[in-house]
Amino acid sequence: MLRFLRTKRFDRILLRLAITVLTLMVLLYVWVNWSGGRRWAATKALIESDGETLDFRKLLPETPPEAKNLLAIEPLRGIALVVDNDPAKGEPGARRKALEALNWKQTSVPTANGVALKKYTVVPPSNGVTLGKTTDIQDWIEYLRDTEYMDLPAGSEVSGREVLIALDAKFPLLKQIADETANRPLTMLTPGLREREMPELLFSMRVPYLTSFQSMGRALGLRARAAVAAGESAEAARSIVALHRLALGCEQELFLIGFLVGNSMEMMALEPLWLGLRERVFAEEDLLLLQAAFAADHSTGALLQAMRGELAAGLNAVESLQLAASGQREVDSDVMSAFSTNGQAMGKYFWRLLPSGLFDHWKSVLVELELRHLIQPLKSGGLRESVRKGEAVTTELTQNSSMLLHPDYIFARLMLPAISTVSSSALAQDARRQQALAALALERFYVKHARYPATLAELTPEFLPAIPLDSCDGSPLRYRTTPPGRYMLWSVGLDGKDDAGKVNLDAKGAAKLYKSPYLGDWTWQYEPVK
């Protein structure tokens, strides 16, 4: 055997084998480039025929005039600008820093010999919209004292009016924003998206202002809650509208993170709204103001823009690697850290070994999945259809999870967001908005008639132009009056089944209403869920 291995015949066999393998590799390389180029050309034609564009800048909303833009007031102007890629630098950094004072502070619990000297204070729960449960303003006062968020008198009961006065004294920006809602109906962070300078790699775009806006949103929600406790109808309504508009400003941002932050802030706005309706605080003119604020359906358009931004960022990352593979540019460190398991050394040289056509396949799969499972469903059937089709993304990615058999799905698995989860959150928020609209009209009806209607049909056309629809199935919102003299509104939830307003709680008394496979309804009611 050893003699044969040393013969010329064996050398010829090795040479032929090497040539065969090399030929197959070259043919595979050529075929990948050819098939990838054809597929990407077909994908671009599909984008064009669907009325979409890969130039996301063409889809960005127009920047509103500064005089009409709530987020262009002096303390917030330019807050989206990042100077020299350093979030702390320059005037925008200083303005974001100033907003950090609005964030809740965490109390460090003093200890002696390892034993806590006082209890650790947690943020009071906000379960009104989800479970019909509220917290007393005194719970918030205790929290604000313990965390030293505000200087409130110790040892005595503090009123909601005193909290409102103290908040406005410490954070005058909150009242300024609330007061400006009457004159500035539009919201967009400045510089506007069309004027903002974008980095070459979109994934590296910094968004430190979103954290600042979350802090401001929580503080506005607290101000609205204090105003409700104080019986200050106008202050509560303006604070809720201001928080709602801040959320819209975040949802207009380019990427999904902005939409998710705005979506969570929308829920913050609904909490004091629910509480004010429960306590019947709002005057007629403030009910009208709130009704006008929540009337517009924006969730579908905002999610569509966010997903288009995510698609643009994903394509931008793949194209960045494709240029690096061809030697036209260096591999970006942010891309390497995201897609290289062995750090920079692997990233720098590994990508240059790959055929250009493989990148075309990656781009095609990314675009095709987002078009089929999110963009097209959103455009044709709205949020409800998006939730239904979003589950198919996970199924398709699972079916094509083999890297050997389906290398064209590698990037899609890494970069596609959890579409079904995001769409479900947007659907829940829109359902709550419809419930809020109905609740506001019901309260206006009560102010006039000292009773609630037997059916929602009695609200039209005086209090509502049409009966709000259940975002989950497109049917009229469900409604009935309740024995305590109030009412219940409900949506059928993610399972699409009408459970007559029943909310299913787990053994701990909690309910994950907005996550599949929750089985139950989403209610708006003023009695605690049992």
Q: What one-character-per-residue DSSP string does 208-262 give? A: THHHHHHHHHHHHHHHHHHHHHHT-HHHHHHHHHHHHHHHHHHHTSSSHHHHHHH
Q: How far apart, in Å, do the first and last CA atoms of the chain sit?
A: 82
Q: What is the pLDDT of residues 378-412, one digit of tens each?
A: 888 888 888 888 778 878 888 888 877 888 888 88
The residue written with tokens 């205790």 in the block is: 142
The confidence band for 111, taking pLDDT boundaries of 50, 70 and 90, is low
Rounded CA-CA distance 420/393 in Å is: 8
Note the pLDDT of residue 118.
52
Note the pLDDT of residue 148.
83
405 vs 90, residue with greater confidence: 90
pLDDT beyond 70 at 512: yes
The residue written with tokens 């064209």 in the block is: 408
Instruction: Residue 208: name the closest of 300, 90, 105 by CA.
Output: 90
Note the pLDDT of residue 208.
86
pLDDT beyond 80 at 341: no
Note the pLDDT of residue 286.
97
Rounded CA-CA distance 188/203 in Å is: 21
Note the pLDDT of residue 430.
93
CA 36 from chain center: how many Å? 34
Which residues touch 303 (CB under 8 Å, ≥6 apart)? 259, 378, 383, 386, 422, 423, 426
The residue written with tokens 């065969």 in the block is: 20
213 vs 3, residue with greater confidence: 213
Note the pLDDT of residue 6.
57
Note the pLDDT of residue 101.
87
Peptide bond into 461 cis (omega under 30): yes
204 vs 95, residue with greater confidence: 95
pLDDT beyond 70 at 333: no
Q: Domain 425-530 carries which CATH code?
A: 3.30.700
The confidence band for 243, taking pLDDT boundaries of 50, 70 and 90, is very high
pLDDT beyond 90 at 88: no
- DSSP structure string for 2-18: HHHHTSHHHHHHHHHHH
490 vs 15, residue with greater confidence: 490
What does DSSP assign to residue 127? B
Rounded CA-CA distance 329/332 in Å is: 9
pLDDT beyond 60 at 289: yes
Q: What is the pTM of this model?
A: 0.88
pLDDT beyond 50 at 215: yes
Rounded CA-CA distance 187/206 in Å is: 20
The confidence band for 14, taking pLDDT boundaries of 50, 70 and 90, is low
The confidence band for 277, taking pLDDT boundaries of 50, 70 and 90, is very high
pLDDT beyond 50 at 343: no
Note the pLDDT of residue 344.
45
Q: What is the pLDDT of residues 356-379, one digit of tens each?
A: 888 888 899 988 888 888 888 888
pLDDT beyond 50 at 30: yes
Angle at 440 between CA 437 and CA 442, to 5 degrees: 110
| The two structure tokens encoding residue 448 | 């006039």
The confidence band for 524, taking pLDDT boundaries of 50, 70 and 90, is very high
Residues of the chain with CATH 3.30.700: 425-530
| Averaged pLDDT for residues 241-268 | 92
Average pLDDT of the chain?
Answer: 84
**Phi, psi (deg, nearest 5) at residue 86:** -120, 110
Q: What is the pLDDT of residues 138-167, one digit of tens each?
A: 888 888 888 888 888 776 788 999 999 999
